[in-house]
Every structure is written in C-alpha cells, then in structure tokens.
Structure 1
Amino acid sequence: MGANNSSKTLVFDANEEVNFNHFEILRAIGKGSFGKVCVVQKNDTKKMYAMKYMNKQKCVERNEVRNVFKELQIMQGLEHPFLVNLWYSFQDEEDMFMVVDLLLGGDLRYHLQQNIRFTEASVKLFICELALALDYLQSNHIIHRDIKPDNILLDEQGHVHVTDFNIATFVSKGTKITTVAGTKPYMAPEMFYPRGQICYSFSVDWWSLGVTTYELLRGRRPFHIHSSTAATDIVHVFHTATVTFPPAWSEDIISLLHKLMDRNPEERFSCLADVQDFPYLSEVNWDAVLQKRLLPEFTPMKGRLNCDPTFELEEMILESKPLHKKKKRLAKRIKDTGKSRSALNGNLQTHLDSVEREFIVFNREKSRQDLNENQENLTVVQTKEEDEDGKNNNLQQL
C-alpha cells in the first residue's frame, strides 16, 4: 500500500498543519463499526503510528458524527501510559483522521482467538495496569463504557493500553448517567434496569474489568450473554445465574472477581483505592507498574502485527475508495468539483459542510511545544521580577 503513497522526498513547512500528505501509508490492520485503521509513518520524523480514518458521508448517513467529535474531544485531553493516546487529528474532503499510538502486540480478543490462555500472573499485571488507566479516566470524569478484550491493545513488551473512546462519556462530580451504551456481555447489571430507573457511574467500567479478567483466564465469559440477547433475558440471567470458578484458580483471584462483579454497584470495587487495599494486590509496587518496570509474563510474537491479515486484502480488493489511492482520487475531484458536489443532495451536502466547519484539528507535538514555550516565557518573567525585587530591596536597605 505504501509504495503508491511514498513522500520521502517532500519537505514540509514546520508551521503547516499536519495532514494526510505528511504520512506514508504502510498497511491496513483493523476496522471498527465505522472506521478503519492502518499503519503509517510520518515522513519528517519517521515515527510510526496507527491512523484511524472515518468516511464523512457514512458518518453523516449513520448519524455518528457526534460520537466522532466527542471521541476527539475526550482524547485530546488525555495522555497516559496505559491508554492509546491521540497525536494528531485532521480532515480532508472524504475522511476524518485520528493518528494514535501504534501498538504492535495486537488486541486481547485476537490473542483469545489464537487460543492463548493467560496465566494468573499475566492477568494480575493486566488488572493493575488497567486499574491505573481506569483511575486516570475517573480523575478526568470519564466513563469508558466499553472495556472488553477487543479494546485492550498490547505493546511489544506485553503492557496493556485502553483504546476506542467512541461511546465514552463525561460525568460531572456527584451526578449519574442514564443513557445506555456498551457491549451487552460486558455491561453492568444496573445498565439493564427498567427504563427510567437506569442510573450508573464509574463502577460500570470496573464490572467490565471483572468480566474481561474472567474471560482472559478461562477463555469464555462468566455469563451466557451475547450481543443479540434481549435486555429482559439479561436481567433474568443476572438474577438467577451463578458464576462458576475452576478449582485450579487461587482463592485470591476468585475473591477479587467477586468484588469486581458484585451485582450491587454500591458494594462493587469501583476505584483504584479499593483494588490497592485488597490483600491480593496490597503488596504490588504501583509506582513500578505505572513506569512499566514490571515485565509482563506474556509477550506478543515479535516481527508481526498480531492482527487478522484479511484487513489488508479487504482494503486493497474490496474497498471502493482505498486509502492508498486517495491522492489521485482527490486530484481528479478538484478538476470535477462542480460535478462531485452536484451528485450529493442538498441536505447531505449541508451536513458535510457542517462537519468540515466543526471538526477539531489537533497536534499533540505542537501543543507540547507551545506549553514548553509558555513555561519558558513564564520562567523568564519570574526571573526578571525576582531581579527587580532584589534591586528594590537593595534600594530600601540603602
């Protein structure tokens, strides 16, 4: 894919906004509900990233623009060792782009599908790292609402990173959320209360962590719930089902899972302090966890992307507007601007124009640079003020 999009000889203005032309497209590695992901290399720095791109027209037609904008808003304010962090966001005529950390270890769903059975020691570290990620989100008033193996990526060393903030939401201090969102098998019981009684907060993410932990250890989920299961049937499952634990599991991990999957949200573990104070994890060096000094027991296979290879075939063969042909396609469209616009109905074009106006451009490198410059300027001002104060004090002494 990259051969048709190589830009190695181009030189870019440092003040120019980052855009599609700044990247070389290498290969497709995944797809979501309305976006696809490919590996890219930034031409000037040679750094590798994952680029998620979402077709504007499809997002408008599926009424998903608001979710994209909300995800961008949330991710621009976050940066943490156990998250997939956003670096750039930009747009062109066709697509919206999000450039994020590249994690080469694959997601946990992929490894489960490869029949990997994680040891308790591996999962224990996962729990600690994910607990720190959830605590960070909580400190920023964010509920993820979709913690599951599919949304947990591994880096090359085997550390976990939470991704996909498409249905995440802000929650003000002391308030509760009443809207339903998530993936049914991982959603907490309180999210299935009768209409008008749904009321939940951060504890739903900790329930999802419990379900995910169980699945990683056993290869299947603790409850027989599927995406197609009706809400009334799910309520019945929660009232009647008993979670079983294999005899080989330690009492410690079973006790922790009972706390994470307590059906009463008031009794459930729902913050970092709960987990840190639990005997099973009380001796963990949490600073070492945060700094990634504890080595994971499971290491993804190196030299490969740890993802389904059919993604690239679909992009190259089945995709009607493949990314690696974008430049030629847009160049042709410039010649036929009137023709392409007239092909869209007025209402759709109005929505697309709105997307173009309201899209949030982001550049983490530039934000950091601006912050550093502001801090340097502040230091200079403070030093100057201190020097002036010193001179004034000397004058008063005279």
Structure 2
Amino acid sequence: MELGAGLMNDASERGGPAYVTGTEGAGSWGGTGRMGVAGSRRTLPHKQADSIPSRGPWVRGWKRVLSGVETTLSGLEQLWAQRKRRLPPLEPALLPSEKSLTEWPVPKLVSLFLPEFPVRPPQGQQQLKVLGFVAKGSFGTVLKVLDCGLGALLAVKVVPKVEVLQRDSLRQCKEEVSIQRQIRHPFVRGLGGSWQGQRHLFTMYKYYSTGDLHSLWAAVGCFSEASVRLFAAELALGVGYLHDLGIVHRDLKMENILLDERGHLKLTDFGLSRHLPQGERAYTICGTLQYMAPEVLRGGPYNHVADWWSLGILLFALAAGKFPLQAEKDHVAMLASVTRCNYEVPASLSQGLALLLQELLCHDPFHRLRYLYHFQAHPFFRGMAFDPELLQKQPVSFVLEARAVLPAPAEAVPFQDFDCDLICLSTHPCPA
C-alpha cells in the first residue's frame, strides 16, 4: 500500500474486497457457444444415434436456431456485396514510419474510451517550451511550460499511459478531468485543457509563480491570526462550492493549495476527488495521513464532512506552526494516534480560533462544523464578509514579500512533441 498523497487501498468504493467472478463470454455464454455450435463434431454409433429422439423438442429448437443463423449470414453477405459495389477503393496502408502517433503502444480505439483526452496533432503544441519541473509525484509529473504564442505561463501534468493501465486508474483520470471541467470558482483552480499523445496523458492549467501554501508555511512558520482568518474564509468558500456540486476532495492539504500573483489561494489537485451525491457514502481509504479524518482511516462510511476535518488540521498547522500529530507508518497506526489525541490548541491562540479548531477537529462527523453558514456566523469570523470579490480586493502583503525572494527561472527547453523526453528535462529544474 502506497501512503502519502497517493494513498488508496484496493477495496472497492462499496467498502468490501474487489471480487472477480469472470468476464462476460468466459462463462455460460462462451461455454455454451463453443460446445453447442462450434464444438468438435463426432459420429455416433447407429444404436446410440437411434437412442436419441430425432424429433425431440430440443432438436427442433436447435434446427430453428441454426437455420436462422444461416439465413442471417446469407442476408449479411448480400448486403455486404451491395455495399461493396458502392464503396470507394481502399487507400494503401501507411508505412510503419507514417503511422499515426496514437497507434502505438495503445491502439487508436483508446480515444473512444478517453473522450476527456482528445487526440491532438503534434503541430498544435509547437509553440510550447518546457521551462522545467514543478513537481514529480508518485503518479505523473507537473511541468512549467511557456506558451510562446500567447506569452503565458502554464502548468502541464504529464501522466504515462502505461502507469494508468498498470495501476488500473483509468476511471480516476477520467473523474479528475470531468470534475475540473465543471469548476468555476475564484478559489479553486479549473482545467485549461487536456489531450493525449502517443505515450502520455496531458492536462493543462494556469501556472502560479508564487508556489504552494506548504512552501510558504515552511519559510514563514506560523501565520498571524488575520492571515489564518483570510485563508480559512477563502478555503471555506472553495470547499463549500465543491460540496454543493457533490464533489468530495479527499486530499485537502497545504501542498494542494497554490498562491496566485496577489497572494490568494487556489485549491488544486483533484486526483483523489470523486462525485459523491448527497446522501451517499464512500469507503476508500485515501488521502494524506496527517490530514485524514478518523472515519476515513477506519475505512468509512464517510462523506463530504471528511474534508472539513482536513481543513481543521491545515488551519491548526498554520496557526501553531506545527501539526497536531506526526504522520505514522500506515493508516492503522495513524487511526490509533488520532483516537488517543484530544487536539489541545496552543494557549497563545485567541478564544475564537481555538473554538473553530475544536469544532473542525471533532471526532464525530455528525457534530463537526460542516456548513458555510456555520463559518459565517462563527465568532472567529466576526466582521468578515464571505464574498470572493471583497476578499480578493486587497493583496496579501506578507505572501508578496516572500515571493520576492524566489530564485530565477531555469533555461527554456523546447517542447517538440506530445511525448517529451522527461529524463532530459530533469536537468532543468523549475524553482517554483
């Protein structure tokens, strides 16, 4: 079991083990077809043949089936002969060097099952240049890319198709793109585009040079309560928006929160997210150990309320400068640690912030703070307007001060085709 950002157990979303009962065609349908129609023929002895009623109902039934098949085949042959006379002559096959990029190693038919990743010609990406790596995780690589035509910086996530097939994560990739295509919110990063190449799947986003919240937290340490209040309000609006769409994020953490050029937040990375309609429950153990709610660590059932626990852990770390608990080796040990801890907040925090953290880090999800109007009426947010335009009106000064000390960008590398050489690009790291 792989832990961390990609932690997910092998149980199905229904909570039990994934059982394989056989594929359609390998059971009664396939067996009956081979034995009843296409099986080997044998000549029975005369007496044995006489012992079988030649006019029995099952014999007449099979004769009707076979005669129908023969009639159908003859009819198809006639239709094909008529169609063939109207078809233009076939074009010569492409030489091996002329074959489409999508024919290897995955057949072109894969595009039918990946409408979220349309096939695009390599000429459409000649204006892109890779500036370097942004991040490399257990599942895919994020590159910093310059669109020379528009003069815009973009982030491109590159996922090898072979890993998608090996990990059986096709549904997860499709779900991630489907979710991001419907997102339109100031504090949530949406999708800029997606396509597939010969060996990789690509998703494109707007690039934010300020970096992520975790890098800022590591450099600054604990935040002031005014900054915690602003970031908490922005995240509450973003998470509440996702929940209204029936989306549970399941990996809310500082590394998955970007900072824009004015220092405001953008929630990103929907690799573990899924559509979960109101009233339904999930059972997959997934997320990042330090942020996972106790009901997730137990294997469910859980719902959208688990995201609010993760928000509580995040705000605790921002305000206190440390996590309430260290990450354990696996979810079993983490659950034991979470169960023993009562999450006492530092005495230096205000009464309003301490109350907010206690209500978010409630072990019982039914009593956990989970509705946006609860935040709006909370004492910690007294006087705070939960309006995205008003929250974004002023830049976050201390974030911009930290941005000024970022290193210079690396030298550009041409992005020559769909399937760039990631090994070559590793010598050009991206600072942000």
- TM-score surpassing 0.5? yes
Number of equivalenced pairs: 301
In the alignment, residue 167 of structure 2 is paired with which amino acid? R
Note the C-alpha offset of 1:288.
Answer: 5.1
Equivalent residue number for residue 287 of structure 1? 387
Q: Residues of 2 paired with 1:16 and 1:109: CA distance? A: 37
Aligned match of 1:274: 374
* Bigger Rg, which one: 2
1:92–1:248 Cα change, 3 Å: same
The corresponding residue for 1:53 is 158
Answer yes or no: is 1:158 the counterpart of 2:295: no
Structure 1 unmatched runs, 5+? 1-14, 317-322, 332-398
Look up the match of 1:384: none
CA separation of 1:190 and 1:166: change in aligned 2, threshold 3 A: same
| 1:121 and 2:226 correspond | yes
Percent identity, please: 29
Moved more, 156-165 or 241-250: 241-250
Q: Report SS of the residue matched to 1:191.
A: helix
The separation in 1 between residues aligned to 2:386 and 2:276, in whole angstroms, is 26
Task: Return the offset for 1:247.
Answer: 2.0
* Structure 2: 5+ residue stretches without partners: 1-119, 422-432
Q: Distance in 2 between matches of 1:29 and 1:139?
A: 31
Letter in 1 for 2:379: P
Q: 1:107 aligns with which of 212, 215, 233?
A: 212
* Secondary structure at 1:80 match in 2: coil
Q: Which moved more, 1:177-186 or 1:293-302?
A: 293-302
Matches within 5 A, 1:214-225: 214-225=316-327
CA–CA distance in structure 1, aligned partners of residues 184 and 389 of structure 2: 16
* Contact 1:104–1:306 under 8 Å retained in 2: no
Higher percent of residues as helix? 1
Letter in 1 for 2:266: H
Equivalent runs, 1:81-96 vs 2, <5 Å: 81-96=186-201
Residue matched to 2:335? 235
Equivalent in the alignment of 1:68: 173
User: Per the alignment, do residues 173 and 288 of structure 1 end up closer, same or farther by CA in structure 2, a change over 3 Å counting?
Assistant: closer
Q: Deviations 1:124-160 (Å, cap 9, x if unpaired)?
A: 1110000010011011100000001111111122111
Give the structure 2 partner of residue 296 of structure 1.
396
Q: CA deviation at 1:110?
A: 1.5
SS at match of 2:380: coil
Q: Deviations over 1:240-296 (max 9, x none)?
A: 222232222111100000111111101101121111111221421122556611432
Residue 181 of structure 1: how far off its partner (Å): 1.5
Give the residue type in structure 1 aligned to 2:323.
R
Q: 2:311 aligns with which of 209, 225, 228?
A: 209
| Counterpart AA for 2:195 | F
Report the CA distance shift for 1:167/1:19 in structure 2 as closer, same or farther (over 3 A).
Answer: farther
Take 1:278 and 1:245, find their aligned partners in 2: how far apart are those partners?
17
Matched, 1:187 2:261: no
Q: Secondary structure at the match of 1:177?
A: coil
- The whole-number CA distance in structure 2 between the counterparts of 1:230 and 1:178 is 14
Cα distance between partner residues in 1 of 2:189 and 2:232? 17
Name the CA shift for 1:183/1:17 in 2 (closer, same or farther; >3 Å): same
SS for the counterpart of 1:103 is coil
- Residue matched to 1:143: 248
In structure 2, how many angstroms separate the alpha carbons of the residues matched to 1:290 and 1:56? 43
Tell me the amino acid that sits aligned with residue 52 of structure 1: K
* Aligned alpha-carbon RMSD (Å): 2.9
Contact 1:108 1:153 in 2 (8 A): yes
